[in-house]
């Protein structure tokens, strides 16, 4: 979806000002927000793509006025409610009032290091051979899906060059909505700045994205 998260190339948000020596967390509650989000995800009720899509689905005014981990927590509340772990009454009161779903599994403290080390691999075998090759000119498709997608808006309908052929990975556009994983080849595609941003773009700049095969067509 064309959500508030997809800011590439948009004006009116001011300059990007990276924080020098930025800490991992700016407040103690952010550590807890990360821990709660990871622990809830380990229950097995949703996948990483559904989690991403829920964050992207926040209303623009809410998204833009929230910090990074505030966005995480607001999305987590929605996921927990969607899957029956909390209700609106629970969230409003701050206590467990209504009956709740039983999680598939519970992440215990002693298992956290092993679970984090394992991660959540999304690479999968693909039956068909890769359609594109390194060095090939391709164009991204121009679409505006109502659901989740990993193809950023600024890179749609643009011509680039395949820099590398990666492996097969779960297709996030389907996976976010509980459909089959539909693994596809993923390619690193490089675009020039003027192709993405038009006249006046920095001529020395290139941007690369990882694109699933169905995002691309040959030139």
Q: Per-residue pLDDT for the chain (219 aa), expressed as one digit of tens each?
A: 899 999 988 889 888 889 999 999 999 999 999 999 999 999 999 999 999 999 999 999 999 999 999 999 999 999 999 999 999 999 999 999 999 999 999 999 999 999 999 999 999 999 999 999 999 999 999 999 999 999 999 999 999 999 999 999 999 999 999 999 999 999 999 999 999 999 999 999 999 999 999 999 999
For residue 197, the model assigns a pLDDT of 93
Structure tokens at 104: 């598939």
* 171 contacts 214 by C-beta, under 8 angstroms: yes
- The token pair that represents 213 in the structure block: 């095969």
User: 28-118 belongs to which CATH class?
Assistant: mainly alpha
Q: What pLDDT is stored for residue 91 in this prediction?
A: 95
pLDDT of residue 89: 96
Q: How far is CA 145 from CA 148, 167, 178, in A?
A: 7, 24, 16
- Specify the pLDDT at position 15: 86
Q: Report angle CA 76, 82, 86 to the nearest 5 degrees.
A: 70
CATH number of 137-218: 2.30.30.50
Cβ 76 vs Cβ 40: under 8 Å: yes
Contacts made by residues 55-59, CB under 8 angstroms, sequence distance 24+: 55/5, 56/1, 56/3, 56/4, 56/5, 56/6, 56/148, 57/1, 57/3, 58/3, 58/4, 59/4
Nearest-5° Cα angle at 148, 142 to 154: 40
What is the per-residue pLDDT for 87? 97
**What angle, 0 to 180 degrees and rounded to 10, lies between the N-to-C axes of helices 28-41 and 68-82?**
30
- Tabulate helix, strand, coil % of the chain (nearest 5): 35, 15, 50
Ordered by start, the domain boundaries in the chain are: 28-118, 137-218
What tokens does 162 get? 């395949």
Non-local (6+) Cβ contacts of 219 within 8 A are 137, 138, 139, 159
Residue-level pLDDT at 10: 87
Contact residues for 71 (Cβ-Cβ < 8 A; gap 6+): 55, 58, 63
Residue 43: per-residue pLDDT: 96
């Amino acid at each position: 979806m064309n959500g508030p998260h997809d800011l590439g190339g948009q004006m009116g948000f001011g300059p990007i000002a990276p924080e020098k020596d930025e800490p991992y967390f700016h407040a103690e509650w952010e550590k807890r927000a990360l821990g709660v989000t990871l622990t809830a995800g380990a229950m097995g009720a949703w996948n990483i793509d559904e989690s991403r899509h829920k964050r992207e689905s926040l209303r623009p005014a809410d998204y833009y006025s929230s910090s990074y981990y505030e966005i995480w927590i607001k999305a987590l509340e929605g996921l927990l409610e969607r899957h029956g772990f909390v209700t609106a009454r629970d969230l409003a009161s701050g206590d467990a009032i209504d009956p709740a779903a039983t999680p598939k599994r519970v992440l215990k403290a002693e298992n956290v290091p092993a679970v984090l080390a394992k991660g959540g691999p999304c690479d999968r075998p693909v039956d068909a051979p890769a359609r594109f090759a390194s060095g090939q000119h391709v164009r991204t498709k121009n679409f505006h899906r109502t659901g989740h997608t990993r193809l950023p808006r600024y890179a749609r309908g643009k011509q680039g060059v395949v820099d590398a052929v990666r492996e097969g990975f779960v297709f996030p556009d389907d996976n976010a909505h509980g459909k089959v994983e539909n693994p596809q080849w993923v390619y690193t595609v490089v675009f020039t700045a003027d192709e993405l941003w038009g006249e006046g773009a920095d001529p020395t700049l290139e941007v690369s994205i990882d694109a699933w095969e169905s995002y691309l067509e040959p030139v």
